[in-house]
Amino acid sequence: KDIQYVYSNYYNKLEIIRFDSNLGKYVGYTEFGVKQANYWNNIPSEIARRRAQRETYCLHNVDIWYGNP
């Protein structure tokens, strides 16, 4: 429960859009990012894919990064 997966897109050092596994959806930070977030949030397979990234990437590697010696 303490693990969070965050996927962000940047352009010119400005964060445009972010997927947060705690929210379970995309959030836009610019006008373009808000449009993209609305588009991607309405694609069930995209949301399922990003939610699965938490399981496959984060939970799989947590023992490697924070394992007990």
What integer pLDDT is reported at residue 26 of this predicted model? 96
List of long-range contacts for 5-8, beta carbons under 8 Å, 24+ apart = 5/50, 5/53, 5/54, 5/57, 5/58, 7/50, 7/53
The CATH class for the domain spanning 6-67 reads alpha beta
* Residue ranges covered by each domain of the chain: 6-67
Q: Give the whole-angstrom CA distance, residue 50 versus residue 32.
A: 20
Q: In Å, what is the CA distance from 47 to each residue of 28, 32, 54, 63, 64? A: 15, 19, 12, 25, 26
What integer pLDDT is reported at residue 46 of this predicted model? 93
Give the predicted TM-score (pTM) of the model: 0.77
Backbone φ and ψ for 42, nearest 5 degrees, come out as -95, 10
pLDDT per residue as tens digits for the range 51-63: 888 877 776 666 6
